[in-house]
Amino acid sequence: MDKYGQYLDAFFSCPSTENMYNLCNYLRYAPFNKLHIAELTKRLACSGKTLNFNAVSTADIPSTGGPSTIISPLLLKEYYSVPKSP
């Protein structure tokens, strides 16, 4: 297993400040690797709770804290169920 895999596994088995620092520090100085980013994204997505809305079409808005965080859900809710809708 490469160094990235070791840091990733360490963080997900024990999400401590030290393990997060090691993972972030590795990513900060390592050359960009889209496979590493894809693996991190998948693992983060699967680490939380997944809501199931099989009966309706849904859309989700990643929060950036900008105006689109407020405006986008208002527009999307006309066509989809938006869990973060105000």
pLDDT tens string 16-67: 999 999 999 999 999 999 999 999 988 988 887 776 777 777 666 666 666 6
Q: What is the pLDDT of residue 85?
A: 45
34 membership: H or E segment, kind and range: helix 34-47
- Distance (Å) of CA 32 to CA 3, 14, 44: 14, 25, 18
Beta bridge partners of 58: 81
Q: What is the pLDDT of residue 27?
A: 92
- Residue positions counted in the chain: 86
The distance in angstroms from the start CA to the end CA of the chain is: 45
